[in-house]
Amino acid sequence: MKPKLKILVLFDAVRPTSLDQDLSAELQTPDWKTEAAVLAALRELGHPHATLALFDDMDLLRRKLQVFQPDVIFNLADQFRNDRALDQHIAAYLAMHALPFTGCGPTALALCKNKAIAKRLVASHGVRTARFVTVPRAQRRLAPPPLAFPLIVKPLREEASYGISGAAFVKTAAQYRARVRYLQERTGDDILVEEYIDGRELYVSLIGRRHPQVCPIRELVFGNLPPGAPRIATYQAKWDLAYRRRRGVASGFVTDLAPAVVRRIEAASRTIHRALEIDGYARLDLRLTPDHEVTFIEANPNPMLSPDEDFAQSAMATGLTYPQLIDRLARLGLGATRS
Ligand SMILES: Nc1ncnc2c1ncn2[C@@H]1O[C@H](COP(=O)(O)OP(=O)(O)OP(=O)(O)O)[C@@H](O)[C@H]1O
Ligand SMILES: [Mg+2]
């Protein structure tokens, strides 16, 4: 039997915390289902563990490390001071202190966060990605971009489909201007504008560093959207259960692709993994065009880990139970050296 690990599970919090914060109320809420699932898995595995929720005080972590001295940190902190752009710095802090931790290091987190940087890198490695431009947050003059409509307009650095509604799909210059202005005001982020890629929406999960395991491919199927509605994973399509039921939007495994196509998707996924220096676990968002061309949309390092999400579903389809998956990620983190 493998030795037990002493694990510090690191969360993010939305308000200041203390060293021994009681998180039991939060852990009952749907927002904390990933955190609760990971803790339940650690209990089942018998790993001694402690938790720390970080808001804006890295000194708490230093003190916790002194008293608890973990073998590895299970890093579930994906924001700092309520800012999702700062997650890479938490990983950088851990790397600077030579603390073993799960998931991706700061380089992968930074490269994937900026979707334009990620697309340039992926394209330079020969994987197709939609043509795009970026619009600075302060730019007021909005001439139509040199791209072919329809376009997708989204924040350059957001995730979880924030800012992605049906209106992200734009067919005219007027719609384009309206959507860019709206996102500039609402998100304060720069804007990514890319050509819309028609095709199937695929999610590929990978685990590992140099020779990652590519897990069975998942797909978001768009059932019966209203006529003319874009087939994209809007915030509603992802998170609104009533809408998903009504519109037949469903997640599942891909079973109908020819083995040669699956192999091409897997090869492209490995290339993307390498291009973006992914060194932990990740979920890639791809589109497969009607003529079976693999197109990169974006990469999600440290994707949500709850058992019902695509990443865990894919990983478990390789034959792991959920606790075994959590154990695997912890042991992978233990052996990592990061950049
Ligand atoms: N160029 C594109 N062509 C077609 N569909 C697109 C394109 N860009 C984005 N989409 C659609 O919009 C969805 C959300 O885009 P994206 O993955 O970039 O956002 P996100 O907020 O990072 O999402 P998440 O973090 O939940 O994966 C995609 O899953 C896809 O359905
Ligand atoms: Mg996405």
CA 29 to chain centre: 21
pLDDT given at position 276: 98
Mean pLDDT throughout 303-327? 98
pTM above 0.85, yes or no: yes
Q: How far apart are CA 41 and CA 35, in angstroms?
A: 10
pLDDT tens-digit profile of 216-231?
A: 999 999 988 888 788 8
pLDDT at position 98 over 70: yes
Of the listed ranges 74-78, 238-242, 321-325, the one predicted with least confidence: 238-242
Burial of 19-48, coded b for 16+ CB within 10 Å and e otherwise, reads eebebeebbeeeebbbbbbbbebbeebebe
Phi, psi of 129, rounded to the nearest 5 degrees: -145, 155
pLDDT tens-digit profile of 146-173?
A: 999 999 999 999 765 676 787 899 999 9
Band of pLDDT at residue 99, cut at 50, 70 and 90: very high
Spell out which residues have Cβ within 5 A of ligand 2, the ion: 285, 298
Percent of the chain with pLDDT over 70: 98
Residue in 90, 120, 19 with CA at minimum distance from that of residue 302: 90
Sheet holding 72-75, edge to edge: 49-54, 7-12, 72-75
C-alpha dihedral sign at 119, 124, 126, 132: positive
- Which atom in ligand 1 lies closest to the alpha carbon of residue 194? 1
Å from CA of 57 to ligand 1 middle: 32
**Which residue's CA is the nearest one to ligand 1's atom 13?**
233
Which amino acid would we find at residue 317? A
pLDDT given at position 163: 66
Neighbours of 316 (CB within 10 A): 16
What residue has token string 């939609």? Answer: 130
Å from CA of 244 to ligand 1 middle: 17
Could you give the angle at the alpha carbon of 281 between the alpha carbons of 120 and 275, nearest 5°?
A: 25
- Which atom in ligand 1 lies closest to the alpha carbon of residue 283? 27
Q: Which residue has the higher pLDDT, 336 or 258?
A: 258
Å from CA of 157 to ligand 1 middle: 12
Mean pLDDT throughout 179-195? 93
pLDDT at position 72 over 90: yes
pLDDT given at position 170: 95
What residue has token string 């192999």? Answer: 263
Which amino acid would we find at residue 207? I
pLDDT tens-digit profile of 109-138?
A: 999 999 999 999 999 999 999 999 999 999
Band of pLDDT at residue 19, cut at 50, 70 and 90: very high
CA 282 to chain centre: 7
Contact 317/85 with Cβ under 8 angstroms? no
**Dihedral (C-alpha) 16, 22, 43, 84: value to the nearest 10 degrees?**
-20
| Ligand approaching nearest to the C-alpha of 170 | 1
Pocket lined around ligand 1, Cβ cut-off 6 Å: 130, 152, 154, 158-162, 164, 194, 196-197, 201, 232-233, 238, 285, 287, 297-298, 300
Query: Beta partners for 152?
Result: 169, 194
pLDDT given at position 13: 96
Of the listed ranges 53-57, 102-106, 221-225, the one predicted with least confidence: 221-225
- Which atom in ligand 1 lies closest to the alpha carbon of residue 195? 1
H or E element at residue 244: helix 241-247
Walk me through the domains of the chain, giving residue ranges and CATH numbers. 7-103 (no CATH), 110-128+198-334 (3.30.470.20), 132-195 (3.30.1490)
- Which atom in ligand 1 lies closest to the alpha carbon of residue 233? 31
